[in-house]
Chains A and B, each alone.
Chain A
């Protein structure tokens, strides 16, 4: 850690992290019970009702056959992006400030993907046949349709889930071993199994680093491709305002943008409630703030391009869809999105803003509200204004949809709360790498690059 005195010792790290796993206060149980109850009430019950009644429980109608479920799906896939992707990029660029936060960021990826997969189940009309989208040998002698962008999506997301799971698990093996050595009882058994007999020999470390870097390099193009393919669900159609070549980079940038904001939120919460103040510092917020600024500028640029090319095309369908988005029924949402995602993040130009925790928390939440709005608008405004004016429509989410939207947040929180008690949520061995080695003679701080 550059520029700040680091008073931590190796044993402190172990104690802090193992304490965060083993010692559980009543607050945690209250939080977990609340999150779980909210998940049941707001997510599962409305969903079961919808399974019983049909998609009609949601507010979708004839031209607007896609709604908030799909918007949530894109949102969660997007949120998943910064975790593993950012972690990989920072790993291969040797950015040492990544080390304290990447575990929770990767967990965010994993759980976002789980929630996104749940949203697909909620979205489709007959989720009990969802396995038909997988290419498996079956008695019907039917393959899925390999030409379909939706099938690309199924492939991309399953690959991404697999890759992220392996990545987070492999990076945690030495830490599982460390926790194994400091626990007893059923925890010891569990961590013995999870650590796969890790002994910490030089060969093991060498192989771990090799495999970890290999996976990091592998996952970067994977993550970029996943959101490009998600964008193709829309861009491959011929619907005005969806049929755009810029959608793939637009979605990738948007995904990393909302994901980075999500990491800021999660890190604030971890810092506040898990006493990780010594690991997650102003430095992290400073760096993430710079990243947010760059991403917001990129995002604004793509938005300007999108609006300008739409206007310049002069095609009646395109200009009408654009007019509707900017000044139609959903216009307040559009301008809210522009304010939250294009103007507010400009505050990150100031170091004083970047290094203050609470304003950064508010900013990160505002960005993600804006990004959710973006996804909602992409679905709702485009489908409301298609080629035939007779089939123009209007879509307003129903109570069930809003409840499920809240419920996904609760589901995500529940999964994350379970995670912090099972996984060491700060990577112990990598934090140690950034510290002075415990020797009598002080060694100069490594002063690793801060990216």
Chain B
């Protein structure tokens, strides 16, 4: 086998979508839009957990708010007969992520758990990943942020505070995943139990619309949820192979 063949072989093995089956975990999330009430608790939980800056009124008006998880509102119909559709939108952790190929310094890459990770220290702020992302879920730090006292006392010590000029986005609360894996190792277990790790949004969701877990485990709650006939992916036609799956809202015919 020539050198080139070996490279090609290795690439095929490790670079095809879904190659995380070869590894221990492949984290995924489902969001049941039938159960989602659009309350916004997940947005707040994410803000508190991940040290998201409170950008203030001016920056908000300029369109620079940072919300790793945002609620998209889509209105249907004319005034008296209106209907509101809400869909939570965060990083979809695509297996074929457009943002990962474009970063010139590999500041965003896929780790072996199927997570699309962002390395703040490596980011040089070309913002090309935000352009390439079709879901518009990457947020840029246009300036340094400050937390007024006493809010600076509530910053999560497990999450870094990002400086100006750096891109950031949803991490599936990677600090919690790391913690769960460490606990599993300390207990002498090889794997993290299903339901042992939850991102802040999943933990907070009052209607239990969000399910998070390991897709590699066929018995996990998220795997069962993925087999739901209502399951669909946003912008699936772009072949991003996203890890966040939505369960369609089913309505009675009017």
Where the two chains meet, the residues of A that have a C-beta atom closer than 8 Å to any C-beta of B are: 53-56, 59-66, 123-127, 129-130, 132-133, 142-145, 147-151, 154, 233, 236-239, 383, 386-391, 393-394
Contacts and interface: CB of A to CB of B under 8 A. Distances in A.
Nearest to B164: A54
> Which 5 A-B pairs give the minimum distances between C-beta atoms?
A125-B125, A125-B165, A56-B142, A61-B63, A54-B143
B54 to A, nearest CB: 15
A215 B238 CA distance: 43
B65 to A, nearest CB: 7
Nearest to A67: B127
A56 B144 CA distance: 9
A323 B127 CA distance: 26
B62 A124 contact: no
A145 B105 contact: yes
B39 interface: no
B98 A390 contact: no
Given A56-B59, A61-B62, A129-B124, A144 B140 contact: no
B136 A63 contact: yes
B238 to A, nearest CB: 6
A391 B131 CA distance: 12
A233 B141 CA distance: 22
B122 A142 contact: yes
Contacts of A387: 134-136, 235, 238
B132 A239 contact: yes
Contacts of A62: 63-65, 136, 139-140
Nearest to A64: B63
B126 A123 contact: yes
B72 A388 contact: yes
Interface in B110-132: 122-128, 130-132
Nearest to B126: A124
A133 B72 contact: no
A147 B59 CA distance: 34
Interface in B51-76: 59, 62-65, 70, 72-74
Contacts of B74: 389-390
B140 A55 contact: yes
A168 B139 CA distance: 43
B103 A148 contact: yes
A233 B62 CA distance: 26
B212 to A, nearest CB: 22
B98 A238 contact: yes
B131 A65 contact: yes
B104 interface: yes
B165 A55 contact: yes
Given A124-B125, A124-B126, A61 B64 contact: yes
B140 A147 contact: no
Contacts of A53: 143, 164
Contacts of B103: 145, 148, 150
Given A55-B142, A61-B64, 17 more contacts: A55-B125, A55-B143, A123-B126, A129-B105, A132-B122, A142-B122, A143-B106, A144-B104, A145-B104, A148-B103, A233-B128, A239-B132, A387-B134, A387-B238, A390-B74, A390-B89, A393-B63
Contacts of B234: 388
Contact of A54 (B65, B102, B141, B235): B141
A239 B131 contact: yes
A124 B165 contact: yes
Interface residues of B, number: 43
Contacts of A239: 131-132, 134
Contacts of B134: 238-239, 386-388
B98 to A, nearest CB: 6
Contacts of B98: 237-238
B166 interface: yes
Contacts of A125: 123-127, 140-141, 164-167
B101 interface: yes
16 contacts: A53-B143, A54-B142, A54-B144, A55-B142, A55-B143, A56-B64, A61-B63, A62-B63, A65-B130, A144-B105, A145-B106, A148-B101, A154-B104, A237-B131, A387-B135, A393-B63
Interface centre among A60, A65, A129 (most CB of B within 10 A): A65
Nearest to B132: A237
Contacts of B70: 390
Contacts of A145: 101, 103-106
Contacts of A386: 134, 136
Interface centre among A53, A123, A125 (most CB of B within 10 A): A125
A126 B65 contact: no
A390 B137 CA distance: 11
Contacts of A390: 70, 72-74, 89
Contacts of A56: 59, 64, 142-143, 164
A233 B103 CA distance: 11
Contact of A126 (B63, B132, B144, B165): B165
A147 B166 contact: no
A388 B101 CA distance: 21
A237 B127 CA distance: 13
Interface in B135-168: 135-136, 139-144, 164-167
Given A60-B142, A125-B140, A149 B63 contact: no
Interface in B209-254: 234-235, 238
Contacts of A127: 124
Interface centre among B72, B103, B131 (most CB of A within 10 A): B131
Nearest to A237: B132
A133 B106 contact: no
Nearest to A383: B131
B102 A149 contact: yes
Interface centre among A56, A61, A63 (most CB of B within 10 A): A56
A61 B136 CA distance: 12
Contacts of A151: 104
A394 B59 CA distance: 14
A238 B142 CA distance: 24
Contact of B165 (A54, A133, A149, A394): A54
Interface in B63-105: 63-65, 70, 72-74, 89, 98, 101-105
